[in-house]
Chain A
Amino acid sequence: MRRVTLVTLVALSLAVAWSAAAQNAATAEKDSGEPSAEPVIVPPVLQQATAAVYPARAQEEGISASVVLEIDIDAEGNVEGVSVLTPATPPGYGFDEAAQEAAFSFVFSPATENGVPIPVRITYRYDFTLSAPEEKKPVAEISAADRSGQKKVVNFEGVLKERGTRLPLAGVTVTIFRGEGSVAVGYEALTDAEGKFSFYNLEPGDWMVLAESDGYYPLRTSDTVEKGRKTTVEYFIERGEYNAYDVTVEGEQLRKEVSKTTLDIEVVEKVPGTFGDVLTVVQNLPGVARTGPAAGNIVVRGSSPEDTLIFIEGVNVPIIYHFGGLRSVVPLGMLDSLDFYPGNFSSSFGRATGGIVDVRLKRLAPLKVGGYLDVNLADSGAYLEVPIGKKAAVAGAFRRSYIDAILNAAVPASAGVNLITAPRYYDYQLLGTVRPNEHHELTAFFFGSDDELKILFDNPANLSPDLTTAEGSTSTSFYRTLLQYRFAPFDNFNNTLKVSAGRNEIYVGAGDQVYLDLDTYVAQVYDRAAIGLGRNVTLATGIDYLFTKADAAIKFPALAKEGEPGGKPDLDTVQFTSEKDSITNALGTFLELEARLFDRWTVVPGVRFDWFSRVGQSTLAPRFNTRVDVTDQWTAKAGVGAYHKEPSFDETAEVFGNPDLGLEKAMHYSAGFEFRPLPFLTLDVTGFFKTMDDLVSRTDATTVRDGQTVPLNYVNGGEGRVVGLEVLLRHDLANNFTGWLSYTFSKAQRRDYGSSEWRNFDYDQPHILTLLGTYNLPRNWSIGFRFRVVSGSPTTPREGSVYSVDDAQYEPVFGKPNSVRLPVFHQLDVRLDKRWVFENWMLTAYMDVQNLYNSPNVTGYAYNYDSSQKRPRQGLPLLPIIGIKGEF
């Protein structure tokens, strides 16, 4: 007899090979965050299935086959899309088409996350077989009460939890049985949302217990039921992979950007060479140039680092890294994901002409008290999250470095330096969320950071005759309070209000000789409202206001800007200025339409108005992005937009810069396509062109200000142009592997004021190739690698020197700016992780080895005292870092 069997799916956790036997329950993909904060995801359940038509020729020839489908299910349980993940073998009989056609008519109950319906993507295997399936002998009766009619007395109950995380497991079948053959008896129970299950009226004696769930090792144990007593148990089953990205929620909104990459924190954590730092991983994406170790810069599509803004949940912070790049100031535990826009970003972002990095906070919804302790060679940090009822939760974290202790021990007495406060940093965060119902969500986030370094020189003259003080110090501290309220009263309307306030205190200096002392109060208000105008049109609008009040005392020499030789600052050019209660305002408003036409074409026209009080200028910036789904696999995209930013603070300061400067401008153009040949494989190719005008550029001219002739310092006279092509081949987790290949070709140039020649931008790197991947091994091992090949950055050669008698040192004479290149950079980093899962907690140990084959990469040149000799200055040597992390 011909029979078509629907065998289920295995979600992307198909990857877990051992689970081949456990393919009887539909499993939805779910969003996993940190294991300790995993939301309750209830998978979709197939409510209505239509049998596929068995291909006639295959039937005649007696051929069976299986097709693995990928099914997109919307938040209402309807099938939105079906694609073939693994085609039938042999091909050509029409199995794939038949399976697809049948799947389109399936109806599911929607998947839910914490009770809220969500769209998901599942993997579904459709078996075509000509033989009747083996009848499964029932070993269980779903309802034990049916068999006797006697009063139900629960005498065996328990709770099923995930081993290591203690998370309750819902919807898992627990089977209890005993006997063999004709005397075999068994019962099944499903765990509820709290992982609880119960059996009643069990006969006294020993019972075997089996609990199986997709993605978990099966639990096999035995327990005893005693007459007249209730047996209470607690079972733990171990997940096959505690790698949280083994399943992924595809619940994202309509894609509207031309260039956007989202990184989940779990992906970030295991990227080799980054020490799990979310922002460092950005440097491996297309369009991002390589900067030096501990540089802490993000150089996007040929724009200067200050042209790219980095937000933490929309809040501007003065530093994102401790000590210029060692660690970012918010630990991974607090974060959910990161959105990176290398260009053509939406109207909702402003005051930037490069790119946008928006780090998003974890959506706090812990089911239990949990946290972690992370110990490594640089610092130690702790994180704790606590649920408060079912609608609120709080989390806190603290981290402190101990580089100071290491350096104090490592710096020899002969170094002539006393580290009064060796490099020391700490940061702290407190996050709270209240969700009274699905319409309201209030989040409060308080976070701050403090970095400090103080040095006392034994013999300042020995270090530099310029030093007229024996001490140097730097400190940066800031805090921010963010209140965020999301209001979504209707399906077609939502509003997000963010209000933040805080203070930055920055000091760097050497005694009274040179210093920069800034004390700034910052307040920010951001509101975005979106209203659906019909099924396919959304109108978004909002305001974006930034207020600063600063006290500043600055005594500094002229410092090298982009394109200028980075020689030693000339202390003869030191100038002083001080300002008190200097207030600046920046106000932005935006309007953006998102329209989906013909179910294939997305157009996003937008406009942004900005007013900047510091330069006294306002702008209107139109932007337009579009995407066309040419087929299910191919998407074409393009964008164009105008962008503006203010000059930096020092550039508009009266003494150091030119207070009459105006805004810098950029135009972004990009076009490309995305190709998704397989559900887990995406090819994204984007060409881009960017022009920059009115760039702040150095000038020799003088001007008369307040009756005095003073240097003009800067004018808006520079230009820039960048052209390039980005390729990203991304492999989401499948077959235990995730990773990407990123390649960028670009040419970034600048033309300074008064010059007729284009020169290379400081970070012009024509070729940037990054190959990165992580492979999950059995028993919670994983191994990752990152290989990079990058063109050398431009550098300015030295052509000689002049001996400055008064300074008792040689001053280099520089050649043409950025006219030579450093050698090609290449490096391989690897990382090995192992996780041990205990009943109530987990321990992870990792080893991150940078520069595995000790590539002698040149980061610049060191010169002898008169610049007559040079030697390459090498970057990081082979550097292994180990760490451990305990989670509960």
Chain B
Amino acid sequence: MKQTWMTALLMTALGLSACAEDFESFNTVSRLRVLAVQLDPPDVAPGEQAVATALVAGGTGDVTYEWSWCPLTAGSVNGYECLVTQEEFATALAFAGTGASLPAFDLGTDPQALFDYQMDGAALQALCALALQQQAPAFVALPSCDDRFVATLMLTVRDDEDEVTAVKELPLLFSADTGRNGNPSIGAVTFFNEAGIALEEITRSERVDVFADVPLTASESFIPAATNEVPDPVETREILFMTWFVTAGELAFTRTGYIDGETAFEDIQDNSWKVDDGDEATLYLVLQDERGGVVWKQIDVQVEGRP
């Protein structure tokens, strides 16, 4: 156990992480990608509906969507295979009592999906307890069932060449009184040259600073769930991180972040970008909080200067 982490730390220190190979960068969008999925609201209370929307980029031709959800998956190592069939789940719902209604696992093929949570929270909690009895493969965390049941939302998109599957947690609260989360927000995005002058266009092969105006309120205060390590948690600010994607050029950081007490809030807002090819480029900013809140912003820019 120890050696694995020691090695990881050492490798990180030496800058030998796997990304160092000469692969295309994670944040360069050159083919079909799912960059983000937003749930609105990010956690769903009994009687509410949540709308799922995806930020899909880089596709060629027609892009198709296939939404689904699953109450218990086999985790990342096993490709998020759903461990419960629709029939088994229907039986479980019947166990929860009449009036319990959750959508079918298949959520449709539209660019957006609707999740309708029409069920008593207590009944879902009972179902959650039932899920605990299931055999969970290695590396799969069984649900805690404290104040919510976390299901999995899945999206598969296809274009003429590629297929991409994305998963996102789908928190189903047992009560609307539980502390709620909101999706964060991003303000204006501004480009500056070395002299600090704001730019409308960016110049080819010149590095520009990018400033994303993220309000401090994007990091909401909340009280984390009690654990055996911290039985009496205190209020804290959400951790935020922003993933920066571009269609061309190279960014200084793949991600920027804010960790209350560890890093400065300004750190999340600043990056720099240099584009060498093309006449136009797109910057996608995906801002996420640690409780599943997501927002994004897309900025298309003209690239001036001789190729």
Interface residue ranges, A against B (CB under 8 Å): 294, 296, 323-324, 407, 411, 415, 417, 419, 422-423, 453, 455, 459-463, 465, 468-474, 476, 506, 508-509, 511, 514, 516, 555-556, 558-560, 564-565, 567, 569-570, 572-573, 576-578, 648, 650, 698, 700-702, 709-711, 800, 802-806, 808-809, 811-814, 862-866, 869, 871, 873
Contacts and interface: CB of A to CB of B under 8 A. Distances in A.
29 contacts: A294-B7, A323-B6, A324-B7, A417-B15, A455-B12, A469-B259, A470-B262, A474-B5, A508-B6, A508-B9, A567-B77, A576-B228, A578-B229, A648-B1, A701-B135, A709-B129, A709-B142, A803-B164, A803-B165, A804-B166, A805-B37, A805-B167, A808-B241, A808-B288, A813-B79, A862-B20, A862-B21, A865-B26, A871-B23
Contacts of A701: 135
B138 A564 contact: yes
B133 interface: yes
A576 B227 contact: yes
A853 B227 CA distance: 55
A805 B26 contact: no
A578 B294 CA distance: 35
Interface stretch (B104-112, B189-197, B200-208, B248-256): B248-256
Given A460-B259, A711-B136, A808-B255, A453 B13 contact: yes
A863 B21 CA distance: 8
B15 A411 contact: yes
Q: Which 10 A-B pairs have the closest CB atoms?
A: A461-B257, A811-B76, A864-B23, A700-B135, A576-B229, A865-B26, A813-B79, A803-B166, A805-B168, A461-B255
A825 to B, nearest CB: 19
A671 to B, nearest CB: 35
Nearest to B260: A468
Contact of B138 (A422, A468, A700, A805): A700
B266 to A, nearest CB: 12
B2 interface: yes
B24 interface: yes
Given A472-B9, A805-B36, A865-B19, A800 B79 contact: yes
B80 A459 contact: no
Contacts of B268: 461
Interface string B237-254: 001011100000000011
B133 A802 contact: no
Contacts of A802: 76, 79-80, 165-167
Nearest to B163: A800
Contacts of B275: none
B168 A806 contact: yes
B263 interface: yes
Interface residues of B, number: 73
Contacts of A650: 1
B79 A324 contact: no
B118 to A, nearest CB: 25
Contacts of A809: 26
Contacts of A474: 2, 5-6, 9
B139 to A, nearest CB: 5
B11 to A, nearest CB: 10
B139 A558 contact: yes
A468 to B, nearest CB: 5
Contact of A508 (B5, B167, B168): B5
Contact of A702 (B79, B133, B242): B133
A119 B300 CA distance: 88
B36 A324 contact: no
Contacts, number: 197
B3 interface: yes
A453 B7 CA distance: 11
A463 B12 contact: yes
Nearest to B169: A806
Contact of A460 (B21, B142, B166, B262): B262
B292 interface: yes
A506 B2 contact: yes
A468 B257 CA distance: 9
Contact of A459 (B25, B257, B286): B257
Contact of B13 (A422, A565, A702): A422
B100 interface: no
Interface string B38-52: 000000000000000
A468 B260 CA distance: 9
B236 to A, nearest CB: 11
Contact of B254 (A462, A577, A806, A871): A462
Contacts of B24: 864-865
A516 B241 contact: no
B164 A461 contact: no
B257 A869 contact: no
Interface in B85-127: none
A76 to B, nearest CB: 51
Nearest to B2: A508
B179 interface: no
A424 to B, nearest CB: 12
Interface string B209-224: 0000000000000000
B29 to A, nearest CB: 11
Given A570-B76, A576-B229, A803-B167, A423 B259 contact: no
B294 A805 contact: yes
Contact of B10 (A453, A710, A865): A453
Contacts of B242: 461
B155 to A, nearest CB: 8
Contacts of A569: 4
A15 to B, nearest CB: 43
A804 B167 contact: yes
B14 to A, nearest CB: 7
A465 B255 contact: yes
Interface string B273-292: 00000000000001010101
Given A806-B169, A811-B77, A865-B19, 17 more contacts: A294-B7, A423-B10, A459-B256, A462-B256, A570-B139, A570-B141, A572-B141, A577-B228, A698-B138, A709-B133, A709-B142, A802-B76, A805-B166, A805-B168, A811-B76, A863-B18, A865-B26
Contacts of A570: 75-76, 139, 141
B301 interface: no
B140 interface: yes
A556 B22 CA distance: 32
A556 B3 contact: no
Contacts of B12: 417, 455, 463, 472
B138 A558 contact: yes
A569 B76 CA distance: 10
B305 interface: no
A573 B168 contact: no
Contacts of A471: 262
Contacts of B139: 558, 570, 573
Interface in B143-167: 164-167
B70 interface: no
Contacts of B77: 564-565, 567, 811, 813-814
Contacts of A411: 13-15
B136 A702 contact: yes
B299 interface: no
Given A415-B15, A470-B263, A805-B167, A711 B10 contact: no
